[in-house]
Homo-oligomer: A and B are copies of this chain.
Amino acid sequence: MLRPGFAFRVEARDGTARAGRLETPHGSVATPAFLPVATYGAVRGIAPPELAGAGAQMLLANTYHLHERPGEDAVAALGGLHGFTGWRGPWLTDSGGFQVTSLSDLLEIDEQGVTFRSPVDGRRRFLSPERAVAVQEALGSDVAMVLDECRPLPEPEVDGHARARAAADRTLRWAERSLRAHTRPDQALFGIVQGGGSEALRRASARATAGLGFDGHAHGGLGLGEDRGRRAELVAAVHDELPEEAPRYLMGLGRPLDLLDGVAAGIDLFDCVLPTRNGRHGLLFTRAGLVRIRNARFRADPSPPDPACACTTCRQHSRGYLRHLLHVNEALGARLASLHNLHFTLRLLEEAREAVAAGRFDALRRELAGVLETPAE
């Protein structure tokens, strides 16, 4: 990264896992790092100081949602994402492409871009690589993403490979247009590797994308149906084609085991709504396994939600109280449970960083693999 204010250094390696540091104009991020998702410029019910307290270093905001409401001009007028939200640390924005294809009534994808019907007001909208860059420049994130053509996995049997190839090729042409459109010197731009479930296509996409000179690279279109082992192979294969000195970002995956798989393969950045979404639904990550805190057996349980956890929720509240709040749908319950899951996830990445630096990442991963996603007790 040669932009002023940006740098990325790999500081330690353990096999293909790596620990490093991403410098941005709004602060430094120790990697591998997990980015909590602030869809509308806020992490559901949680204020910036609490995110910092839980160990968050960098947040992700959804370009599409903020473009719809309040509009990037309003965000820009209120100081960009940093001033608008009060989170003064680094921000990453997605391109909006994933939301356009998953949430809206998709009308057409052609070489120019994507035409869709807004779920907010029912009107026709058009998103092109150039517009995605322009919106993100107005939002003022530290890291912007190119618009990609994202396809579901597994591909249909008929023409699946051809469609995946066409989408990867188009993503590459859009990547070139995005680079030409990008003007903000204080914002990094990351390319996205596509290619569906084909290792060959993804390698080719990575090689070509890397050749364009992005500040970092992301794995696109994963976590949409392929199994965990296959995903690990697709990620690992692509890393041979990407420059070592640029950050690698695995988009949208955030289960604890996914994070450990990603770190093992050399991923530096993650984002996912899972910690907060699971929290709202009463599914807690703990060091003893998954806890469904709404279960009636926790009704009068005075112990902390996760006895091994040092988060505000676990230090101040009992399982019985948290269970009650979620049971009666009191907003404080979703907030406390989300905060715990975020703290757990952020702490997991912190431990991964420490383990990579100490050359014992594999041991950590083996130790945790057995418990993280099985029910506690």
Task: Please list the residues of chain A having a beta carbon within 8 angstroms of any beta carbon in chain B.
Answer: 39-48, 65, 69-71, 73-74, 77-79, 84-86, 299-300, 302, 316-318, 320-321, 323-325, 327-328, 330-336
Contact = CB atoms under 8 A, between A and B. Distances in A.
Given A45-B331, A45-B335, A46-B332, A70 B40 contact: no
Give the residue among A79, A86, A300, A336 with the most B Cβ atoms within 10 A.
Answer: A300
A135 to B, nearest CB: 16
Contacts of A79: 302
Nearest to A312: B47
Contacts of A318: 78, 84
Contacts of A65: 328
Given A40-B325, A86-B321, A321-B78, A299 B331 contact: no
B320 A69 contact: no
Contact of A70 (B74, B78, B299): B299
B299 A332 contact: no
Contacts of A327: 69-70
B324 A335 contact: no
Nearest to A338: B331
Nearest to A302: B78
A328 B40 contact: yes
Nearest to A66: B324
A74 B328 contact: no
A85 to B, nearest CB: 7
A324 B47 contact: no
Contacts of A41: 321, 324-325, 330
B332 A78 contact: no
A282 to B, nearest CB: 14
Given A65-B328, A69-B328, A74-B320, 20 more contacts: A42-B331, A44-B330, A45-B331, A45-B332, A45-B335, A47-B316, A47-B336, A69-B327, A70-B299, A70-B324, A70-B327, A71-B299, A77-B302, A78-B302, A78-B320, A79-B302, A84-B324, A85-B321, A331-B335, A335-B335
Given A79-B302, A327-B69, A332-B47, A316 B86 contact: yes
A332 B302 contact: no
A74 B331 contact: no
A78 B328 contact: no
27 contacts: A41-B325, A41-B330, A42-B325, A44-B330, A44-B332, A45-B45, A45-B330, A46-B332, A47-B316, A47-B336, A48-B316, A69-B327, A70-B300, A70-B324, A73-B300, A74-B300, A74-B320, A77-B302, A77-B320, A78-B318, A78-B321, A79-B302, A84-B321, A86-B316, A331-B334, A331-B335, A335-B335
A320 B47 CA distance: 16
Give the residue among A39, A46, A48, A70 with the most B Cβ atoms within 10 A.
Answer: A70
Contacts of A43: 332
B42 A330 contact: yes
A195 B131 CA distance: 67
Contact of A324 (B40, B48, B86, B334): B40
Contacts of A316: 47-48, 86
A299 B41 CA distance: 14
Nearest to A296: B70
A36 B77 CA distance: 35
